[in-house]
Amino acid sequence: MSKKEYSFQTNLLHNNSKVDKYTGAVSVSIQHASTFHQSDFDSFGKYDYSRSGNPTREALEEMIAELEGGARGLAFSSGMAAISTAFLLLSKGDHVLITEDVYGGTYRMITQVLSRFGVEYTFVDMTDLNQVASQIKNNTKVLYIETPSNPLLKVTDIRGIVKLAKANGCLTFLDNTFLTPALQRPLDLGVDIVLHSATKFLSGHSDVVAGLAVVKDAELGQKLYTLQNSFGAILGVQDAWLVLRGLKTLHVRIQQSSQSAEKLANYLANHPKVEETYYPGLTQHNGYSIQRHQTEGPGAVLSFRLRDEKAVRNFVNSVKIPVFAVSLGAVESILSYPAKMSHAAMPLEERLKRGITDGLLRLSVGLENPADLIADFEQAFDIVEKISPDNFQAEPIINKL
């Protein structure tokens, strides 16, 4: 049966990797070999050396290409390895237009590394198409977007950006980590390269660091493959297997977490201690209607703003269920503090300009019962309220572990 007959949910399980051709195994075999015997002196087999190609990694690469609707998928040792390798498509003198509230590691790569190799950049508010259009230069080669963005969940009009990119001979790169192809398929909307931190929702269990890139066009895919093989930041086979296993439950995890995130967002949006809640599923969110037109749902990540750092510290030390950590997209809820975590690499002035203030917290909603999460938040807000922020000595987080 052709794969096209299946829905995304079914395709996660019934695909090319469903049954091993030689053994019938229903889980992809982990091929540890670094090198492959060539039985013919003149013509080499499909695999020769595992940096260049490995059947376990290839199973994952084929899977993500299929899920994103691309011509080619490539697996890297981390999300940053995937993103950095994609940037190697640029040459000295090229210019990249990049979303201003981009992931902190991508910000560091652009401003501290690529700049040394003569790649120019401009940060823009990608939600403002007029501003984007006005910043495109003759040497602009790439428009780089992240939607919803991190950590303010701003929604970029993907079709609008693609139109501008095509009109100006630029490629569009999109970091799809927050929604995954379960909720957003950028290649279908004209994006050229989709990038992922597979560390997050795709693997989903906080137990692997991995990155993926998917390319719409086979020729561009070949260029990126050459860069992957040249730079060498490939994903190891054990980790490729872990991502493949995580993918099997992607649909059910993201459905459940998104439903809970919506409940949490509504709760937070109506809480007097919360100054602002950022979630694209709230009707009052600026990007609500664009989000509805380009995704299957708003996802499982939200952010909210408390008064200041002191309120945040007291809240974090009082809340019991979420882990307080960097990262997102896991079975357990993860609360993080962008100012000191994901965006610590960003200078204070830049950070504040982007609205990443000292009162901002990001929550990635996991698979706990949402009623338990809300009750936990409620007791934490009560504690924050009862004690004067100036003399509150919250219990150190470590004592609760």
Ligand X SMILES: *Cc1c(COP(=O)(O)O)cnc(C)c1O
Does 78 participate in binding ligand X (rule CB under 6 A)?
yes
Q: Specify the residue, 80 or 265, whose C-beta has the smaller distance to ligand X.
A: 80
Token readout for 234 is: 């490939």
**216 catalytic residue (yes or no):** no
Considering the candidates 57, 200, 313, 362, report the single residue annotated as catalytic: 200
Q: Specify the residue, 281 or 338, whose C-beta has the smaller distance to ligand X.
A: 338
Q: Specify the residue, 108 or 273, whose C-beta has the smaller distance to ligand X.
A: 108
- The nearest distance, CB 195 to ligand X, in angstroms, is 7
Edge-first strand order for the sheet with 301-305 is 276-278, 301-305, 360-364, 334-336, 323-324
Q: Specify the residue, 221 or 338, whose C-beta has the smaller distance to ligand X.
A: 338
383 membership: H or E segment, kind and range? helix 370-386
Q: Specify the residue, 55 or 211, whose C-beta has the smaller distance to ligand X.
A: 211
Stretch that binds ligand X, among 78-86, 133-141, 158-166, 388-396 (CB under 6 A): 78-86
Among 259, 272, 334, 267, which Cα is nearest to 300's? 259
Stretch that binds ligand X, among 77-85, 123-131, 291-299, 343-351 (CB under 6 A): 77-85
Q: How many CB atoms lie within 10 A of CB 43?
A: 7
Q: Specify the residue, 179 or 265, whose C-beta has the smaller distance to ligand X.
A: 179
- The nearest distance, CB 150 to ligand X, in angstroms, is 5
**103 catalytic residue (yes or no):** yes
Rounded CA-CA distance 63/57 in Å is 10
The amino acid at residue 174 is L
Burial class (CB in 10 A: 0-12, 13-18, 19+), 202: buried
Considering the candidates 6, 20, 47, 51, report the single residue annotated as catalytic: 51
Of residues 131-150, which lie at the interface with ligand X (CB under 6 A)?
146, 150
The amino acid at residue 1 is M
Of residues 223-242, which lie at the interface with ligand X (CB under 6 A)?
none
Beta strands in 120-255 (DSSP E): 120-124, 140-146, 171-175, 193-197, 211-215
**200 catalytic residue (yes or no):** yes
Rounded CA-CA distance 331/249 in Å is 11
Among 55, 70, 73, 79, the residue binding ligand X under the rule CB under 6 A is 79
- The nearest distance, CB 22 to ligand X, in angstroms, is 32
Considering the candidates 57, 101, 103, 253, report the single residue annotated as catalytic: 103
Number of chain residues interacting with ligand X (CB under 6 A): 14
Cα pseudo-dihedral 194, 197, 202, 204, rounded to 10: -160
Q: Specify the residue, 198 or 268, whose C-beta has the smaller distance to ligand X.
A: 198
Stretch that binds ligand X, among 27-35, 75-83, 352-360, 373-381 (CB under 6 A): 75-83
Rounded CA-CA distance 93/386 in Å is 57
Rounded CA-CA distance 172/161 in Å is 8
The residue with its CB nearest to ligand X is 79
| Contacts of residue 120, Cβ cutoff 8 Å, sequence gap at least 6 | 93, 94, 95, 96, 139
Is 272 in a helix, a strand, or coil? Answer: coil
Among 64, 80, 233, 261, the residue binding ligand X under the rule CB under 6 A is 80
Contact in structure between 200 and 329 (CB atoms under 8 Å):
yes
Of residues 151-210, which lie at the interface with ligand X (CB under 6 A)?
175, 177, 197, 199-200, 209
Alpha helices in 26-116 (DSSP H): 55-68, 79-87, 104-108
* Ramachandran quadrant class, 121 (left: phi over 0; alpha: psi -120 to 50; beta: rest): beta
Stretch that binds ligand X, among 50-58, 72-80, 227-235, 307-315 (CB under 6 A): 72-80
Rounded CA-CA distance 277/265 in Å is 7
Q: Specify the residue, 114 or 380, whose C-beta has the smaller distance to ligand X.
A: 114
Q: How far is CA 393 from the centre of its chain?
A: 35
Site string for ligand X, 102-131 (x = CB under 6 A): -x-x--------------------------
Of residues 240-259, which lie at the interface with ligand X (CB under 6 A)?
none
Site string for ligand X, 295-324 (x = CB under 6 A): ------------------------------
Interacting residues with ligand X (CB under 6 A): 78-80, 103, 105, 146, 150, 175, 177, 197, 199-200, 209, 211
- Residues annotated as catalytic are 51, 103, 175, 200
